[in-house]
Structure 1
Amino acid sequence: MTRRAAIIAFSLVVAIGLLGMQSWDVALGRVQRGAIQAIEERTGFVVKAIERAEIAFLPLPRISLSQVSFIQRDGVLAGEAVRVKAHLRLLPLFSGRISFDRVDLVAPRIDIAVPAGSDGITEWLSPALAEFEQLQRQSKIVVSAGSVFLRADGAIQSVVRDIDLVIDERSGNQPLALSGSLNWRGVPTDLSLLWPMAGGSAKASLSATSSLLKLRFDGTRSGPGEPVISGPLVLSTPSLPKLLGWFGEESRLGSALGAAAVSADIQVKPREVSFNSAVVNLDGERLDGAMKLAESGGRFALSGTLAGATLDLGRILDRLPVPVFDVADTVPFDLGAWTARDIDLRISVDAARLKGARLNDVATYVLVRKGRFETGLVRAGAYGGSVKGRLLATAAPAGIDIKLQAGLDKVNIGQAASDLPQLGRLSGTGNAQLVLDGVGNTFDELLGSFTGRINLAARQGEIGGVAFGELLRRAERSPIQALRDWRQGKTPYESISANAGIAGGILALTEAQMTGQNYRFSIAGSAALRPRTLDMTALLASPNGATKLPFVLKGPVDAPAFEIETEAFLSPAGAALVPTLLTR
């Protein structure tokens, strides 16, 4: 035996001898009493029942309790564990005292009483943190394979599973420090927390990482009284709707957003969180400003003002779960789902995209109150002109009252056509005004109730796909020739104007005309909003009125038929040739 091994063996014999000199009674009753007293002193748990107690000295002294039931003194926290292991301190054993520095809870099942109606993490964590704060000292607690049931009046509010946590030992007014992992609502999450247990200003931090969330906060908590938490926060998520769903928040408006990140100096007060110097990143587009999230009367309210360089408004609108409007759909509108949370959000950007259109100097807003939804463009530049719009929906006895206003002013249509293919055959400078007002419980009822007006005007441009001037000249020479290949070419115009009134779900085109140097084109008729069909007639005439070509515009709005009304201007002899010409 080497000298070193001999020294170790001698020390071990001495230690065992010292322990043997103590009057250790390893009977079950003695072990239970010592273990229970130590656990209650160092953890704050009151042990209600145990099935078996064991003590072992090698390789390290420890007490093991099986099938343990426990409760905190005020009953906020209660539970049971398959096994509780208390790791004894060696030196106190030499004097016959039981003391330990670590408690292992193996497969514990813990119930925490939370306020009735609570649905927030802050409300759920407050009771447990308050219990730990009452302890003057606390051993290291290791939780493995645990689960926590949050109950309000006996009903389960939420369940946290697969808990593996280490709560560090502390004494006096040292902060509570824990780290580990858990599974909440099917999402494994790693976290760490440093929480001050004494009044005054003290450091606080929180870190959480999962597939849905990366969060880091390092700041301070000040007191006494109602604490104020402040400091820098960094939060990011690959999908804000999924993150909100993870927290139990099903938001119709939240579904408009995708990947999101927020960094801000936050200040947390009771029922209020302020985000100062906030940087918000939405799908790679940065917005700067300030926001506030508050709770009042059981409703959460988000308010803020943000500004940035660019924003894709079209992408946001495309993600909204807007139902397909169909007159056959008799499902009532659900405005309540869109107004479940209060919102007052103002956003301005240098440039924005909206369904292909490019806008500049954009100011927009969303204003939501219970039973009221409003959004709009306060201002936006567009292709040398400007765009404005407003949508207001409010709850009414007959369903939902809708008010829609939109306007274009001095927009260069040719420039817009480069981004909007549907305008590819039109150029010029245009103005437009739309005002609609209706109320209904379903989309069909809403269409049938609409009243309002539409005004259109354009000047100094062209319309592609037809050459009205050439068509008139050909018609003057030979009406038959006018029917050949007339859907080609371009028609320059000096002005376009159209005015329409809407009532009872019918749009009546009261005045509409387009004028050029050698023609005048007018159109009148109606459009039925419910079936979305057109029934209109038009007349193309020379300036002196000598030649006139009538047209009909009928059919579905998406693909109406625009044809020359041949029988109205052809002679009987020429009419006989029309079928042959039209089939060539």
Structure 2
Amino acid sequence: MSTLSDTRQVGRDEAREAMPWRQLLGGAIVVVVAVLGTLVPRFFSPASLASLIENGACAELHAQCRVNGPIRAHLFPYPAIEARDVAFVLPSLRMEIHAAEARAELRALPLIVGRISVNHLDLEKAEIDLVTPPGGMRLLASANDAGAALLESVAAADLAGNRLTRIGLDHSRLLIRAASGRTTLAFEGLSALFGLPQRGGEFFGDFEGLIDGELARLHIAGPSLPEVTRSEGSSIKVDATLGANWLNYRGRLVKAPDLVSAGTLEASLPSAHVLTRLHAVSWPAFLADLDFRLAGQAFITSRGANLENAEFTIGRSRFAGGISLRMAGDGRPSFSGTIAAPLIALAELPRLRPEEIVFPALGRLPDIDLRLSVRRMRLGATRLDEIAAGVILADRRLDMTLSQGLEGTAGAKLHIVAAPDPVGLTVKAQASSESFDFGTVLANFSPHPVLTGTASLNFTVEGRGGNLDALTHALSGKANLQLRKGIASLPDAGPDAAMGAENPLALSPLYGSRRFSDASFTGAVERGVWMVSDGWIGEGTSQIAVDGSVDVADQKIDVSLSGPGETHSDPPWRLRATGPWSKPTVSRLSSGAK
């Protein structure tokens, strides 16, 4: 009997060992949890789920939310809430979001205690409207330790374990508007994914969309929060493209004590039109589009950036030096630095009517404080050596100084001050030039220059206008021109003028060409016309008196020349030259004519 009982007991033990009790128990638990995960959300009404989002999930994100469409929740494969037609308002960021579909992945542990904690947020077909702060970029002008403060806030949220770690966008639209309403930047067809994983993960971001029909991409990798606080910092990589334009940055981000990123920056911008369009500034019609390339060491902080040992290529010209970028008090970018170039080569500028050259509004341009030195400049067939320039644009006031020639030698200097005016710009210009070829200058306006020689010019003028034509017609001031060792030449007087004279005079020795040792022309400038009141050519008893007007704005002259006869018995002669600079008409006048 005992033998039979033992045999039955052994059989039951073997049967129990043969059946997968642990696997069956685990499977049963999974089934029960799955059923509960599927059925439990059904006990919540859409109104309850909407309230859960509006008062729970959105409150955690410091946002105001409203769900206008269907909503559902599930616990598997992960806790999540999905809704349609959702509106988000983030007052602190001045941002409004209207998403056709929204999906929030929740953390499981906070749900056990009845708290909502969003881990991932995905938006589809979202319309994002972002208004920049009233201060605009001026906020960066006083952003002391702003980067460190941001890092500390993210680190604190990371320790609490209740922050967003990933945000995704798909088929969305981002509209960035200035508070003034003047500037708008739109990203169409935007798809993005960025996140900052917890517990030492590396930040990443990928953005892709269209800006004015051109494909834009941005990829960011790094930094890692724990590594930023170390002495060597954390690596960071940025790659951006816009059409054919691209930018690459490789560096390291370190907290010392504010965030500082040091690395190498390379950029290629084949079209300068893109940059000006993004800043709502029109590219000058008389300048050809230029490509821009940059490579150098970049140091970036929350206050701005410094480029050191940088090389710039603009068109066919190369520059080297350093530039600092900061933000002005009103939010506009501010550039300062010193650059040099061995050669600047530009194509011949097209001949435009003065009214086509419109002056920019200085208030919309960045602040600039630059020093430039150029060993040689070629503008078409014209060559200039040793050029130095200083440009200061601040408080909507332009102060520009140009000089040509080595220090201590004869050269040219030009100083221009411009400020905004109701009709455009108010311009004051002062110039002095020594030992330049006056005939070469006149050859730009006429194939047969009236005067040639080594010239010295001084003038001080001021005026106002919205374009070059209006400005030149408004210039007033004074001018002085002196020539040495030159030639004066005029075409013969017309036969009609000779017949119309009261007393036809013998041809003046001025006809054809006449050499002179000195010449001087002085007078006031009134509304773009130089009134020559004290002018002469030659020296001693053979001086030729000159008076009249030179219309700088319309490039016309009305000048009278008079002188004594060749001998004492010859009567004095008088000529008048009128018409365009390119081909004036010369007539003889009687000695008493005015």
Do the two structures share a fold, i.e. TM-score over 0.5?
yes
Counterpart of 1:182 in structure 2: which amino acid? G
The CA deviation at 1:396 is 8.4
Counterpart of 2:31 in structure 1: which amino acid? G
Counterpart of 1:389 in structure 2: which amino acid? L
Picking from 301, 306, 316, the partner of 1:269 is 301
Query: Corresponding residue for 1:390?
Result: 415
1:29/1:109 CA distance change after superposition, 3 Å: farther
Query: Corresponding residue for 1:526?
Result: 549
1:268/1:563 CA distance change after superposition, 3 Å: same
Query: Corresponding residue for 1:471?
Result: none
Distance 1:237 1:446 in 2: 35
The CA deviation at 1:151 is 7.1
Picking from 233, 236, 251, the partner of 2:265 is 233
Residue 258 of structure 1: SS of its match in structure 2? coil
1:500/1:464 CA distance change after superposition, 3 Å: closer
Query: Corresponding residue for 1:351?
Result: 376
Distance 2:279 2:530 in 1: 47
Distance 1:529 1:418 in 2: 12
Distance 1:73 1:428 in 2: 72
The CA deviation at 1:239 is 2.9
Q: Are 2:308 and 1:286 equivalent residues in the alignment? A: no
Q: Does structure 2 conserve the Cα–Cα contact (< 8 Å) formed by 1:335 and 1:395?
A: no
The CA deviation at 1:222 is 2.3
Q: Does structure 2 conserve the Cα–Cα contact (< 8 Å) formed by 1:339 and 1:368?
A: no
Root-mean-square deviation over aligned CA pairs = 5.4
Distance 2:366 2:180 in 1: 28
Query: Corresponding residue for 2:218?
Result: 191
Unpaired runs of at least 5, structure 1: 1-12, 90-97, 326-332, 469-478, 570-584
Distance 1:299 1:158 in 2: 17
Counterpart of 1:498 in structure 2: which amino acid? S
Q: Are 2:142 and 1:115 equivalent residues in the alignment? A: no
CA deviation string 1:334-366 (max 9, x = no partner): 885368542222211111134743100111222
Q: Are 2:292 and 1:260 equivalent residues in the alignment? A: yes
Picking from 83, 96, 100, the partner of 1:66 is 83
Q: Does structure 2 conserve the Cα–Cα contact (< 8 Å) formed by 1:257 and 1:282?
A: no
Picking from 467, 476, 481, the partner of 1:450 is 476
Picking from 227, 234, 237, the partner of 1:202 is 234
Query: Corresponding residue for 2:12?
Result: none
Picking from 83, 96, 105, the partner of 2:101 is 83
1:196/1:248 CA distance change after superposition, 3 Å: farther
1:190/1:480 CA distance change after superposition, 3 Å: same
Counterpart of 1:554 in structure 2: which amino acid? T
Picking from 44, 51, 69, the partner of 2:70 is 51
Query: Corresponding residue for 2:111?
Result: none
Residue 305 of structure 1: SS of its match in structure 2? strand
1:74/1:543 CA distance change after superposition, 3 Å: closer
Q: Are 2:457 and 1:433 equivalent residues in the alignment? A: yes
Which one has more relative contact order, counting CA pairs under 8 Å at least 6 apart?
2
Query: Corresponding residue for 2:517?
Result: 495
1:386/1:519 CA distance change after superposition, 3 Å: same
1:437/1:418 CA distance change after superposition, 3 Å: closer
CA deviation string 1:8-44 (max 9, x = no partner): xxxxx9998774354522133479999989x969x96
The CA deviation at 1:440 is 5.3
Counterpart of 1:366 in structure 2: which amino acid? V
Distance 2:256 2:404 in 1: 47
Q: Are 2:555 and 1:538 equivalent residues in the alignment? A: no
Picking from 251, 255, 260, the partner of 1:223 is 255
The CA deviation at 1:283 is 1.4
Q: Does structure 2 conserve the Cα–Cα contact (< 8 Å) formed by 1:381 and 1:387?
A: no
1:272/1:317 CA distance change after superposition, 3 Å: farther
1:147/1:526 CA distance change after superposition, 3 Å: closer
Distance 1:324 1:152 in 2: 30
Normalising by structure 2, report the TM-score: 0.68
Counterpart of 1:302 in structure 2: which amino acid? F
Picking from 269, 272, 278, the partner of 1:246 is 278
Residue 24 of structure 1: SS of its match in structure 2? helix
Query: Corresponding residue for 1:337?
Result: 362
Distance 1:418 1:398 in 2: 31
Q: Does structure 1 conserve the Cα–Cα contact (< 8 Å) formed by 2:89 and 2:96?
A: yes
Query: Corresponding residue for 2:207?
Result: 180
Distance 1:315 1:120 in 2: 39
**Equivalences for residues 450-489 of structure 1 within 5 A:** 450-459=476-485, 461-462=486-487, 482=507
Counterpart of 1:512 in structure 2: which amino acid? G
Picking from 163, 175, 180, the partner of 2:190 is 163
CA deviation string 1:312-347 (max 9, x = no partner): 47868989x97459xxxxxxx988536854222221
CA deviation string 1:481-533 (max 9, x = no partner): 959xx9996x2514241222105446333443444999764433334667765
CA deviation string 1:68-121 (max 9, x = no partner): 6476999646645433457999xxxxxxxx999976432234455753342699
Query: Corresponding residue for 1:10?
Result: none
Query: Corresponding residue for 1:24?
Result: 35
Unpaired runs of at least 5, structure 2: 1-23, 108-115, 494-503
Distance 2:28 2:118 in 1: 21
Q: Does structure 2 conserve the Cα–Cα contact (< 8 Å) formed by 1:138 and 1:171?
A: no
The CA deviation at 1:437 is 3.0
Query: Corresponding residue for 1:311?
Result: 344
Residue 276 of structure 2: SS of its match in structure 1? helix
1:71/1:348 CA distance change after superposition, 3 Å: same
1:227/1:508 CA distance change after superposition, 3 Å: same
Residue 244 of structure 1: SS of its match in structure 2? helix
Residue 216 of structure 1: SS of its match in structure 2? strand
1:70/1:393 CA distance change after superposition, 3 Å: closer
Q: Does structure 2 conserve the Cα–Cα contact (< 8 Å) formed by 1:177 and 1:194?
A: yes
Residue 196 of structure 1: SS of its match in structure 2? strand
Distance 2:315 2:551 in 1: 40
Query: Corresponding residue for 1:145?
Result: 171
CA deviation string 1:433-479 (max 9, x = no partner): 121233557877985672212222121x44566599xxxxxxxxxx8
Q: Does structure 2 conserve the Cα–Cα contact (< 8 Å) formed by 1:188 and 1:210?
A: yes
- Higher mean alpha-carbon deviation, 134-143 vs 262-271, is at 134-143
Residue 418 of structure 2: SS of its match in structure 1? strand
Counterpart of 1:450 in structure 2: which amino acid? S
Query: Corresponding residue for 1:562?
Result: 586
The CA deviation at 1:311 is 1.8
Counterpart of 1:349 in structure 2: which amino acid? V
Normalising by structure 1, report the TM-score: 0.69
CA deviation string 1:253-311 (max 9, x = no partner): 99897322222322223333222122121112111111122223215322221101222
1:363/1:256 CA distance change after superposition, 3 Å: farther
Matched residue count: 522
